[in-house]
């Protein structure tokens, strides 16, 4: 995240926004079944993320809706980091 902040400071005057997405556990075809069953119990939101969840975060950060957002990380982890 340090690089995100440094680049946001350096490139901000050029109109370039720099952000990061920090994904938590994402359910894919490579996710072991035991993990699929146990991991959601550790998530405040009660489920694993999906690739679409992460894509939506990236889409938001690329959109004009995030035009005033730079130098930060969006934690897409179902609230896991809150614990």
Q: Helix, strand, coil % (nearest 5) of the chain?
A: 50, 10, 40
As a whole number, the mean pLDDT across the chain is 97
Tokens in use for 33?
A: 């079944």
In the chain the domains, ranked by start, together with CATH numbers, are 2-82 (3.40.50.720)
Q: How far apart are CA 2 and CA 82, in angstroms?
A: 21
Whole-number pLDDT of residue 83: 86
Confidence of residue 70 (pLDDT cuts 50, 70, 90): very high
Rounded to a whole number, what is the distance in angstroms from the first to the last CA of the chain?
20
The answer to pTM > 0.85 is yes
């Amino acid at each position: 995240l340090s690089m995100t902040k440094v680049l946001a400071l350096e490139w901000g005057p050029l109109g370039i926004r720099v952000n990061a997405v920090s994904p938590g556990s994402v359910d894919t075809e490579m996710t072991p079944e035991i993990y699929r069953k146990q991991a959601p119990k550790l998530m405040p939101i009660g489920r694993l993320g999906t690739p679409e969840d992460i894509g939506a975060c990236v889409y938001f950060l690329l959109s004009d809706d995030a035009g005033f957002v730079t130098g930060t990380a969006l934690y897409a982890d179902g609230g896991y980091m809150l614990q």
